[in-house]
Chains A and B, each alone.
Chain A
Amino acid sequence: MEIAVVDYKGGNVQSVLFALERLGAQATLTADPEMLRKADKVLFPGEGEAASAMEALRAAGLHEVLPTLTQPFLGICLGMQLLGMHSEENDTPLLGLLPFNVQRFVPDATHKVPHMGWNNLQRLLGPLFAGLTDADHVYFVHSYYAPVGDYTTAQASHPAPFSAAVQHCNFHGVQFHTEKSGAVGTRILANFLNL
């Protein structure tokens, strides 16, 4: 199986590569449109700030390539958010693959921002979450979120529910870090590779 990890200098991809390695999967870090098109699975990690990430995608021409991909595709963290329409983070237009607008959490006395740490998943839907329950925890670190909508395949709360995972056709996204979420994250990653 050919696995491509999108290389757009969009943050720390090493953890994702190591997680794939632990699953015995061979992955290639690439920005080459042909390699992305012919891969069996595409992972799209992301960290940092939305506007500079979109800028990096445009600079590599990937803003036009990624939406045309047809194989199972997984956006992770910022990589999930970039699938939406628009982000409040520096008023940034996104890839427009899923109909959500990314918003900033508002901190209160007991809810810090970034939302950082292990939170449980709720209302799990679809094959990515096969074998998991809403008692399972995954690791989040983000200050912006996608609201809950028809596209939501898992929720978490901080304190209001938000999209922990989304899907439209072949495009999947998880707000949490599968690669840093222990056995639960490994299972989700394995489920994705089995799609």
Chain B
Amino acid sequence: MVKKRLIPCLDVRDGRTVKGIQFEGLRDAGDPVSLAARYAQEGADELVFLDITATNQRRQPLTDLVRDVARVLDIPFTVGGGISTVADVEALLMSGADKVSINSAALARPAFISELARRFGSQCVVVAVDARLVDREWQVMTRAGTVATGWQAVHWCREAAELGAGELLLTSMSHDGTKAGFALELTRAVSEAVPVPVIASGGAGQPADFTAVFRAGGADAALAASIFHFNETALPALKQYLHAEGIAIRL
């Protein structure tokens, strides 16, 4: 049977800097390539790079970085952040990315999802959805979570899947950074509403949070950043824990 996936996420800036581990010290800062290789060796099932560079000058450094990472990485590799054209996607795939994650551009023009799916195949189109709990409703946010879209999370996720998304990366902004666990009800609701795999993101703090998001949340994969970067929970130990908990995992 297909296994539940654990996906470390690295924030990259200016094509090289890795956010998060900067706080830890300089050991890996500026060298996302070796960090990526280390995660792969530790048993990461995939890797996600999120480009948080805020300028328009980022494409060349980003594609160079993607190429350097893809050269050493023997697991699937998703790149996201600011992707808005077919040419952006083509450049990243040509550099060795296996999937791209799109967010605001898909909300601004949902047909973008279909265009990418037709051109490159659904397998490489991840639609990232940032949701925030407002008045007991999960609202989809855009532009790095700053602007409400009017979409309810379940409705937008269903729409994205119908348009050709091969996978959804669902982030609860209400849980992100809290380390209080994933948004289980949201994840469950989306997972039951779409036929495609759902990656849950936001709120990972303890190993038990992963058990909960796979079981109660029905997630196919879980993404986390800081708990892996800070080595609070090492990947091999987390995988052993989940295996012992009876979660289907690749050891």
List residues of chain A with CB under 8 Å of any chain B CB.
11-12, 14-15, 18-19, 21-22, 47-49, 107, 109, 111-120, 137, 139-143, 157-159, 177, 179-183, 185-186
| Chain B residues in 8 Å Cβ range of A182 | 40, 74-75
Structural contact, A118 and B123, CB atoms closer than 8 A: no
| Chain A residues in 8 Å Cβ range of B75 | 139, 180-182
Residue on A nearest B198 in the bound complex, by CB: A112
Residue on A nearest B119 in the bound complex, by CB: A48
**What CA separation (Å) do A12 and B99 show in the bound complex?**
10
Q: 18 A–B contact pairs at CB < 8 A?
A: A11-B121, A12-B94, A15-B70, A15-B96, A48-B119, A49-B121, A111-B2, A114-B166, A114-B167, A114-B196, A117-B197, A117-B221, A139-B75, A139-B76, A181-B74, A182-B40, A185-B74, A186-B74
| Chain B residues in 8 Å Cβ range of A186 | 74
| Chain A residues in 8 Å Cβ range of B74 | 19, 22, 179-183, 185-186
**What CA separation (Å) do A116 and B198 show in the bound complex?**
10
Known: A49-B121, A116-B166. 17 other contacts (CB 8 A): A12-B94, A12-B98, A14-B94, A18-B71, A47-B124, A48-B120, A48-B121, A107-B195, A112-B198, A112-B220, A114-B166, A116-B196, A116-B197, A119-B1, A119-B3, A139-B76, A141-B166
Structural contact, B45 and A112, CB atoms closer than 8 A: no
| Chain A residues in 8 Å Cβ range of B121 | 11, 47-49
Min C-beta distance of B40 to chain A, whole Å? 7
Min C-beta distance of B119 to chain A, whole Å? 8
Structural contact, B45 and A12, CB atoms closer than 8 A: no
What 1/0 flags go to B24-41 for Cβ under 8 Å of A? 000000000000000010
What 1/0 flags go to B64-89 for Cβ under 8 Å of A? 00000011101111000000000000
Structural contact, A114 and B197, CB atoms closer than 8 A: yes
For the complex, is B153 an interface residue (Cβ under 8 Å from A)? no
Which of A111, A115, A117, A159 neighbours the largest number of chain B CB atoms within 10 Å of its CB? A117
Min C-beta distance of A116 to chain B, whole Å? 5
Residue on A nearest B196 in the bound complex, by CB: A112
Interfacial residues of chain B within 106-158, with CB under 8 A of chain A in the complex: 118-124
**What CA separation (Å) do A181 and B40 show in the bound complex?**
10
| Chain A residues in 8 Å Cβ range of B77 | 180
**What CA separation (Å) do A113 and B198 show in the bound complex?**
11
**What CA separation (Å) do A119 and B167 show in the bound complex?**
17
**What CA separation (Å) do A143 and B197 show in the bound complex?**
12
Please tell me which one of the listed residues B2, B5, B93, B166 contacts residue A12 in the complex, with CB atoms under 8 A apart.
B93
**What CA separation (Å) do A179 and B76 show in the bound complex?**
9
For the complex, is B250 an interface residue (Cβ under 8 Å from A)? yes
Min C-beta distance of A177 to chain B, whole Å? 8
**What CA separation (Å) do A73 and B155 show in the bound complex?**
45
Residue on B nearest A137 in the bound complex, by CB: B250
Structural contact, B3 and A117, CB atoms closer than 8 A: yes
| Chain A residues in 8 Å Cβ range of B192 | 109
For the complex, is B95 an interface residue (Cβ under 8 Å from A)? yes
Which of A21, A115, A137, A186 neighbours the largest number of chain B CB atoms within 10 Å of its CB? A137
Residue on A nearest B72 in the bound complex, by CB: A22
| Chain A residues in 8 Å Cβ range of B2 | 111, 115-119, 140, 158
Residue on B nearest A185 in the bound complex, by CB: B74
**What CA separation (Å) do A119 and B4 show in the bound complex?**
10
Structural contact, B123 and A18, CB atoms closer than 8 A: no
Min C-beta distance of A8 to chain B, whole Å? 14
Min C-beta distance of B155 to chain A, whole Å? 19
Structural contact, B98 and A142, CB atoms closer than 8 A: no
| Chain A residues in 8 Å Cβ range of B120 | 11-12, 47-48
| Chain B residues in 8 Å Cβ range of A180 | 74-77, 98
**What CA separation (Å) do A19 and B70 show in the bound complex?**
9
**What CA separation (Å) do A183 and B95 show in the bound complex?**
22
Structural contact, A117 and B95, CB atoms closer than 8 A: no
Given contacts A15-B98, A48-B121, A112-B195, contact A118 B3 (CB under 8 A): yes
| Chain A residues in 8 Å Cβ range of B94 | 12, 14
| Chain B residues in 8 Å Cβ range of A22 | 71-72, 74
